Amino acid sequence: MTKQIIITEVALRDGSHAVAHQYTAEQVTRVVRGLDAARVPYIEVSHGDGLGGSSLQYGLSGTNEMELIEAAVAACRNSKIAVLLLPGIGTVKELKEAAALGVKMARIGTHVTEADVSAQHIAKAKELGLETVGFLMMSHMAPVEKLVEQAKLMESYGADAVYMFDSAGALLPHQVKERVHALRQSLQVDIGFHGHNNLSLAMANTLAAIEEGAVRIDGSIRCLGAGAGNTQTEVLTAVLDQLGCQTGIDLYQIMDVAEEIVAPLLQVPQEITRDSLVLGYAGVYSSFQLHARRAAKQFGIDARDILIELGKRKVVGGQEDMIIDVAAELARSRAVVL
């Protein structure tokens, strides 16, 4: 399996969910310096829900994300800084501000059936001279044909690559293979994959994606990401080296960064808990985990019941307000029964 794989490190964005969006500029600087020394190609930095995500609905940032981005850019010598933007949360204003700070890549994400809302933001990112990537999130929620249709829209808007996101960590390897194969057959641009580990399949799914032609892969060092985290960057680097794939990442250095710099940032060990397992089982957005825990505590019910009900209602990213609504409904229904 000799090929070049381009890795984007997402712990300073996706991992923001795991630390309740409380990264400091000092922490970001330390992590980026380590990743840069390890020659990780791209490092994503922003609020967990992307540019403009700091809010009561999505979680307030401890430090303004533009300060974090500025610190990250200043710490780079080899790596390039990327940002995530979800139309409806982030705006062109934040995109311009990030570009002015020295960001080199914009990653524009939408729900898997809503690629059309990305046209303006992809076009603006290209106009700003940024490498531009389209994301189709919660890709398990659409049939293969719809996924391909939406990916072709992003390609037509000018995206340099299109990713399928297993945002809930719900897909099985054969499902990933089917989807990536169809994308590779239908698109001219690079295909990417972003996995979550809620069913302990992030690595297996990532390798399945690579086998079918994905060349851009997201990883989170020390598995620091929403839910049970993402494909673990340092482990992925070792596995790809064993397979003969080229990443350009220094294996020893990335292992040291994981152990000595990132591990101390984890508030709790990044593992598959009851809640994160339910995320994958129910097919619910991985960033819902902390919100569900808080709602469960507030209403005195089981977080798993909230997540399962959210899955039944097919709630997606951007509908975090529904978590409280569902928790309140479940609490009321149980009070009536009692």
Tens of pLDDT along 207-241?
999 999 999 999 999 999 999 999 999 999 999 99
Question: 154 and 134 in contact (C-beta within 8 Å)?
Answer: yes
Question: 58 and 49 in contact (C-beta within 8 Å)?
Answer: yes
Q: Would you say 184 is a known binding-site residue?
A: no
First CA to last CA distance, the chain: 59
CA angle at residue 47 from 46 to 52, to 5 degrees?
95
Judged against a pLDDT cut of 90, whether residue 19 lies above it is answered with yes
Three-state secondary-structure class, residue 314: coil
pLDDT for 1 equals: 56
Judged against a pLDDT cut of 90, whether residue 333 lies above it is answered with no
Question: What is the distance between the alpha carbons of residues 270 and 231, in angstroms, rounded to a whole number?
Answer: 12
pLDDT for 336 equals: 62
Judged against a pLDDT cut of 70, whether residue 310 lies above it is answered with yes
Two tokens at 13?
């964005």
CATH number, position 318: 1.10.8.60
Q: Would you say 61 is a known binding-site residue?
A: no
Q: Same domain, yes or no, for 216 and 306? A: no
Domain endpoint, select from 212, 230, 265: 265
Q: Same domain, yes or no, for 295 and 171? A: no
Asked whether residue 167 is assigned to any structural domain, the reply reads yes
pLDDT for 183 equals: 98
**What does the DSSP assignment read for 276-292?**
HHHHHHHT--TTHHHHH
The whole-number average pLDDT for the span 298-312 is: 91
User: What percentage of the chain exceeds 70 in pLDDT?
Assistant: 99
pLDDT for 288 equals: 86
Question: What is the distance between the alpha carbons of residues 215 and 240, in angstroms, rounded to a whole number?
Answer: 12
Q: Pairing between strand 216-219 and 42-44?
A: unpaired
Question: What is the distance between the alpha carbons of residues 190 and 87, in angstroms, rounded to a whole number?
Answer: 22
**What does the DSSP assignment read for 177-200?**
HHHHHHHHHH-SSEEEEE-B-TTS
Asked whether residue 108 is assigned to any structural domain, the reply reads yes
Q: How many helices (H) and strands (E) does the chain have?
A: 13, 8
Q: Of 17, 47, 121, 181, which is the active-site residue? A: 17
Q: How many structural domains does the chain have?
A: 2
pLDDT for 58 equals: 87
Q: Would you say 333 is a known binding-site residue?
A: no
Question: What is the distance between the alpha carbons of residues 318 and 32, in angstroms, rounded to a whole number?
Answer: 28
Q: Same domain, yes or no, for 117 and 213? A: yes
Question: What is the distance between the alpha carbons of residues 268 and 262, in angstroms, rounded to a whole number?
Answer: 12
Q: Same domain, yes or no, for 165 and 243? A: yes
Asked whether residue 270 is assigned to any structural domain, the reply reads no
Question: What is the distance between the alpha carbons of residues 224 and 222, in angstroms, rounded to a whole number?
Answer: 5
Pure H helices in 77-143: 92-100, 119-127
Q: Same domain, yes or no, for 259 and 320? A: no
Domain that holds residue 291: 287-337
Residue 131 — very low, low, confident or very high, per pLDDT cuts 50/70/90? very high
Q: Same domain, yes or no, for 175 and 243? A: yes
Q: Same domain, yes or no, for 236 and 124? A: yes
Question: What is the distance between the alpha carbons of residues 52 and 108, in angstroms, rounded to a whole number?
Answer: 13
Asked whether residue 180 is assigned to any structural domain, the reply reads yes
Domain endpoint, select from 205, 232, 265: 265
Q: Same domain, yes or no, for 79 and 125? A: yes
Judged against a pLDDT cut of 80, whether residue 337 lies above it is answered with no
Q: What is the pLDDT of residues 272-288, one digit of tens each?
A: 988 889 999 999 888 88
Helix (H) or strand (E) holding 6: strand 6-9
* Cβ neighbours, 10 Å, residue 305: 17
Active site residue 17: yes
Q: Would you say 21 is a known binding-site residue?
A: no
Q: What is the pLDDT of residues 70-98, one digit of tens each?
A: 999 999 999 999 999 999 999 999 999 99
pLDDT for 334 equals: 77
pLDDT for 2 equals: 64
- Bin 310: left if φ > 0, else alpha if -120 < ψ < 50, else beta: alpha
The whole-number average pLDDT for the span 191-201 is: 97
Residue 166's closest CA among 155, 156, 178? Answer: 178
CATH number, position 97: 3.20.20.70
Domain endpoint, select from 265, 297, 319: 265
Q: Same domain, yes or no, for 320 and 217? A: no
Q: Same domain, yes or no, for 182 and 256? A: yes
Q: Same domain, yes or no, for 14 and 151? A: yes
Asked whether residue 197 is assigned to any structural domain, the reply reads yes
Asked whether residue 278 is assigned to any structural domain, the reply reads no
Question: What is the distance between the alpha carbons of residues 137 and 109, in angstroms, rounded to a whole number?
Answer: 7
Asked whether residue 145 is assigned to any structural domain, the reply reads yes
Q: Same domain, yes or no, for 165 and 120? A: yes
Asked whether residue 279 is assigned to any structural domain, the reply reads no
Distances, alpha carbon 335 to alpha carbons 206, 294, 321, 322, 332, in Å? 44, 19, 22, 20, 5
Q: Would you say 285 is a known binding-site residue?
A: yes
Q: Would you say 291 is a known binding-site residue?
A: no
